[in-house]
Amino acid sequence: MKVSKYLRGSGRFLAFVFVASVLWLLFDMAALRLSIADVNGQLMKELVLKDRELAKRLNAVPTNVRNYPVHLVNLHVETSQRSEMFSRRVVEVYRRKKPDRIKGEDKVAQKSSGNILSVTLPKAVAGNDSKVLVDTKSLEQKGILEMLNAPSYKIAPGVGANVKKEVLRKTKAPFAGQEGNSLKLQSNATKDHQIPPKIPLQDFKIPQDVVLSNKSNSTVKKVKPDASNNIPPTQSPKQEHSIQKVDKRKSAVKDNKTVSLPVKAVVQVTAKLAQSPLNASKIQTGALLNSTGVRKQGGLHKVMALDVTLKPRDARALGQFGWAALVPPDDEEESMRRWSEGYFNVFLSEQIPVDRAIPDTRPPGCSQKLVHDNLPTTSVIFCFVDEVWSTLLRSVHSVLNRSPPHLLKEILLVDDCSTKDYLKDKLDAYMSQFPKVRIIRLKERHGLIRARLAGAAEAKDALLSTKALIYLLSDVLTFLDSHVECNVGWLEPLLDRVYLDRRKVVCPVIEVINDKDISYVMVDNFQKGIFKWPLVFGWSTLSNDFIRKNNIKVSDPIRCPVMAGGLFSIDRKYFYELGTYDPGLDVWGGENMEISFKIWMCGGEIEIIPCSRVGHIFRGENPYKFPKDRQKTVERNLARVAEVWLDEYKEIFYGHGYLNLLNTNFIDIGNLTAQIQLRKKLQCKSFKWYLENIYPELEAPLLKAEGLVFNVGNRKCLVQENGFLSFAMCNLSKQSQHFGYSWVRTLRQNNTCVSPNVTGRGVALEPCDNSKAHLRWLHKSNKFLAEHLIAEAHHQRLCLEAGSKGDTIFLKACDASSSYQQWHFTHYYAQ
Ligand code: UDP
Ligand code: MN
């Protein structure tokens, strides 16, 4: 009754309006919800389409990029592996977009309160002490806060196993001025420079189901493939496989426990972390060598596969993915003209992105390897003189893009007094965007060796000038050439070996960036650095027998008698304990020999780490000037090395074409006192020990020939007694009949040398002195006078002759037919 009273007249009207409004409101809200869901769905769809498109492009071989034909070289991948690579990439795309999908403990969470920033680090990095408080004021002062907004870094599972074994190429371009004939660069190029991919493109399958996380409620949705995208709607076994892979990778990320590390935040906190106790739950390594500098235990994690270039900015760019690029005919002239700027294809290099992606060429097993949690940090030192802009930048980007930020303390660019303008202000400006990059300018040209020392000193000075910031100092120095590309996962395997034993000096596998087409070319495995006489660096493949007997895996470190020299990591303190490089070495050359001998003979080791790969452009010529003659500079450096480190074996070095270096009038190799003292101080072992223990394969006979010296004419043997020469019946047991024919071509018994009388025809005995050219005899060096002993420095061609009665010895004009001028040693060790 009461209600009907209200529903009368205007009350009825009002009630109607009220009910209508409520209904309208409800209707509207429902519509809004629908449209939000719609937009969400549409967005999602777009994302999927975008990423599929991206993935498609990643898998496509670019052709006709800027009208250049581009080819897939050397990295042909099995179809099934290819689709696995594909699915990985798609997942990577989403990881990047939605890092919150990764479990809380794996993220770097940031919370700020006043000046104090709380940074939660991945467990693998932080151990138990994963929350660290950092004073933001100090971060701000060092420009570090801005880094908290820096792009995040991701873990990508390695794709090393994707590379077919048979495409591993035996490739090595020799260092300029060094022997390199053992290995030749191979190319797949056909006549018209077409290098077709081995796998038909239509075989690259795109997975249909992509696992996506929904940001709002964290549930996982499966997005159906879009028919318009030309993706078959049915799910093949292969596709199932790819979904499985996604799941596996999810757990792989969990294991790795390191994702999205804003660069500088981590740099700041690792020092504190280093003091934190190791997580007891972590895997412990077994007992290791029990000697100083050797770690005994440590938590482990799977090697990080950080690679910012996994999603390249422009997948169709020239040279992307390390593929070969070709110069179009119209530009050939320009390309040739610019060749000498760097002695490689500077023209092409300039058009290739400075942050291009390259293939993961690590051998199988590397991406699964465990490394220690508390790895030392490193300074990367690039010395350069007149380096080409594009290659210098690519070198730096490759380090920034593929190094775990918390392990990379800084990149030092040491400008060895370059003359090019672009390496001055323009370089400063470019590098100013990277807080980790510092440029050091040398006021005068020092050469590679002293420039590296300047770089190392700079890294050291950081310690002295910033005592309060001791943690800013790197533990390891990593030297790299300025035309390299560091590959995924390159750094941790190196640092891990140094962590195990700081006396290990470690080198990545040096791969080849082809000088002509700038492609990234994988090199053969099982290569070690060696040298041949006269101290010429080269590569040698481990024998199958050796590999089998020692059960060597392709990813195992390889001990090397010498390092190539361009790329290596060394414990900073150990580098100084070893006395660094001999600072008396000039410009370039021989320094790799010097540091190699020093390392081995003074208690260290040199290893190549196959899981660490760095590409390098090998050039036929040095693009910079040598202040003095190039050859003389290298020879002088080698002579210094021989004098300090080779002991009695130095004669073998000089005997291989360097007798002129013994002539002090010809060359001044400088003062060696400090180097000799250093060797004594360090109590380094002998070169004999080095040869016997580290490089037993090297043939290093101390004499070219030795034993009795038999005269064919009088059929007697030469005797030296009481300062006189005579002949006697040959008797091997008589020491007085034992002589040696040395590498420096002296005929000697102990320290007494048979000397041709320079002016007359007589023969004398005098103390041996390798610098005296008149003591030299040629033997087995002349086709017609092979058995003769020719007085080398005599102005006439005179030969050593025995008197027919066997009581005299003298010089006489050489006569090929005279048997009295023919001499035989009991043993010959070298021709
Ligand atoms: N370099 C230098 N100063 C020199 C000579 C060379 O800084 O006087 C640098 C050069 O720019 C390069 C590195 O040292 O980054 C090694 O030189 P190069 O690449 O010519 O040696 P290679 O690889 O041929 O052994
Ligand atoms: Mn180089």
428 with 501, same domain: the answer is yes
The stretch 112-120 carries a mean pLDDT of 28
* pLDDT of 290 over the 70 cut: no
CA distances from 198 to 319, 322, 514 (A): 18, 16, 20
Amino acid, single-letter form, for residue 822: Q
Assess whether 602 and 643 both reside in one domain: no
Ligand 1, pocket-test mutation among 481, 513, 536, 593, most atoms within 8 A of CB:
481
453-482: average pLDDT? 75
* Residue 86 covered by a domain: no
Question: Atom of ligand 1 at shortest distance to CA of 416?
Answer: 7
CATH no. for residue 737?
2.80.10.50
Q: Give yes or no: residues 680 and 800 share one domain.
A: no
Q: If pLDDT is split at 50, 70 and 90, which confidence band does 793 have? A: confident
CATH number for the domain spanning 669: value is 1.10.8.460
Are 654 and 559 members of one domain?
no
For 116, the 3-state DSSP assignment is strand
DSSP for residue 195: -
Residue 628: inside a domain:
no
Q: Is 587 in the pocket of ligand 1 (CB under 6 A)?
A: yes
Clarify whether residues 498 and 538 are in a common domain.
yes
420 and 533, same domain (yes or no)? yes
Task: Report the side by side order of strands in the sheet with 809-813.
Answer: 777-778, 790-791, 798-802, 809-813
Does ligand 1 lie within 6 Å of residue 481's CB atom? yes
Cβ(447) – ligand 1 distance below 6 Å: yes
Measuring from atom 9 of ligand 1, which residue has the nearest CA? 384
Domain membership of residue 44 (yes or no) is yes
Work out the mean pLDDT of the chain and round it to a whole number: 73
Is 60 exceeded by the pLDDT of residue 433? yes
Predicted local distance difference test score (pLDDT) of residue 456 = 93
Q: Which H helix or E strand runs over 240?
A: helix 237-256
pLDDT at residue 72 tops 90: no
- Hey, what are 504's tokens? 């290990």
Residue 741 sits in which domain range? 703-828
- State the residue for tokens 């870094």: 153
- Closest atom, ligand 1, to C-alpha of 565: 25
**Low-confidence winner among 99-103, 145-149, 447-451, 713-717 (lowest mean pLDDT):** 99-103
Do 107 and 122 form a contact (C-beta atoms < 8 A)? yes
Does residue 532 sit in the same domain as residue 681?
no
Out of 448, 479, 507, 630, mutate this one to test ligand 1's pocket (max ligand atoms within 8 Å of CB): namely 448
Same domain, 421 and 522: yes
Residue 150 lies in a domain: no
Contact between 44 and 492 (Cβ < 8 Å): no
CA 123, CA 130: separation in Å to the nearest integer? 6
Structure tokens at 509: 């596998």
Ligand 1 geometric centre to CA of 589 (Å): 9
- Determine the Cα–Cα distance for residues 631 and 694; give it in Å rounded to an integer: 29
Q: Does residue 507's CB lie within 6 angstroms of at least one atom of ligand 1?
A: no
pLDDT at 69 over 50: no
The answer to which of 85-99, 115-129, 281-295 has the lowest mean pLDDT is 85-99
Q: Does a cis peptide bond (omega within 30 degrees of 0) precede residue 561?
A: no
- 622 in ligand 1 pocket by Cβ < 6 Å? yes
CATH code for the domain of 359: 3.90.550.10
pLDDT at 129: 32
Distance CA 133, CA 120 (A): 9
Using alpha carbons only, what angle is made at residue 171 by residues 166 and 176, rounded to the nearest 5 degrees?
A: 175
Burial of 685 (0-12, 13-18, 19+ CB in 10 A): middle
Contact 483, 568 (CB under 8 A): no
| Domain shared by 549 and 482, yes or no | yes
Model pLDDT for residues 371-396, shown as the tens digit of each residue = 999 999 999 999 999 999 999 999 99
* pLDDT of residue 92 exceeding 60: no
CA–CA separation, 86 vs 288, rounded Å? 40
Alpha-carbon distance 291 to 502, whole Å? 11
In a domain, 422, yes or no: yes
SS3 at position 727 = strand
Choose among 378, 376, 382: nearest CA to 396. Answer: 382
Between 696 and 256, the more confident residue is 696
How far apart CA 539 and CA 528 sit, in angstroms, is 6
Q: Is the pLDDT at 91 greater than 50, yes or no? A: no
Does residue 386's CB lie within 6 angstroms of at least one atom of ligand 1?
no
Q: Is the CB of 515 under 6 A from ligand 1?
A: no
Would the pLDDT of 652 be above 90?
yes
- Which atom in ligand 1 lies closest to the alpha carbon of residue 447? 8
| Ligand 1 near 581 CB (within 6 A) | no
Comparing 76 with 690, which gets the higher pLDDT?
690
Where is average pLDDT lowest: 79-88, 333-342, 591-600, 682-691? 79-88
pLDDT, one tens digit per residue, over 510-532 is 999 999 999 999 999 999 999 99
Ligand 1 touching residue 321 (CB < 6 A): no
pLDDT band at 38 (very low <50, low <70, confident <90, very high): very low
The model's confidence at residue 761, banded by pLDDT at 50, 70 and 90, is confident
By three-state DSSP, how is residue 408 classified? strand
Residue 419 and residue 346 share a domain? yes
In this structure, which residue's CA is closest to atom 14 in ligand 1? 448
Residue 719 belongs to a domain:
yes
Torsion-angle region of 636 (φ positive above 0: left; ψ -120 to 50: alpha; else: beta):
alpha
Ligand nearest to the CA of 177: 1
- Shared-domain flag, residues 455 and 584: yes
Instruction: Give the pLDDT score at 462.
Output: 54
Q: Which among 641, 632, 625, 635 is positioned nearest to 676, based on CA atoms?
A: 641
Distance in angstroms (rounded) separating the CA atoms of residues 721 and 723:
5
Q: 297 alpha carbon to ligand 2 midpoint, in Å?
A: 37
Higher pLDDT, 249 or 38: 38
Atom of ligand 1 nearest to the CA of 623: 20
Coil, strand or helix at 779: coil
Please give the distance, rounded to the nearest whole angstrom, from the Cα atom of residue 452 to the centre of ligand 1. 10
* Spatial CA neighbour of 30 closest among 478, 22, 659: 22
Task: Give the residue, out of 344, 482, 626, with the most ligand 1 atoms within 8 A of its beta carbon, to mutate for a pocket test.
Answer: 482
82 pLDDT more than 80: no
- Span 135-140, average pLDDT: 33
- Please name the residues in contact with 180: beta carbons below 8 A apart, sequence gap of 6 or more: 172, 173, 174, 538, 539
The pLDDT assigned to 533 comes to 98
What DSSP character marks residue 376? P
pLDDT of residue 557 exceeding 60? yes
Domain membership flag for residue 607? yes
Q: What is the pLDDT of residue 29?
A: 57
Q: Which atom of ligand 1 is nearest to the CA of 617?
A: 23
Q: What is the model's pLDDT at position 50?
A: 42
For residue 577, count CB atoms less than 10 angstroms from its CB and return exposed for 0-12, middle for 13-18, buried for 19 or more.
middle
What lies within 8 Å, CB to CB, of 68 at 6+ separation is 318, 325, 326, 327, 328
Identity of the amino acid at 604:
G
Backbone angles phi, psi at 569, to 5 degrees: -115, 140
CA 811 – CA 798 distance, rounded (Å): 6
* pLDDT > 80? residue 295: no
Round to whole Å and give the CA distance between 382 and 448: 10
Q: What angle do CA 166, 168, 171 make, to 5 degrees?
A: 135
Probe target for ligand 1 pocket from 385, 511, 512, with the most ligand atoms within 8 Å of CB: 385
Same domain, 439 and 461: yes
Residue 327 reports pLDDT greater than 60: yes
Distance CA 83, CA 89 (A): 10
pLDDT value, residue 5? 53
Q: What is the pTM of this model?
A: 0.69
With a CB cutoff of 8 Å and minimum separation 6, the contacts of 795 are none
d(CA 716, CA 805): 10
- Which of 592, 617, 642 terminates a domain? The answer is 617
Counted domains in the chain: 4
Has residue 351 been placed in a domain? yes
173 pLDDT above the threshold of 70: no
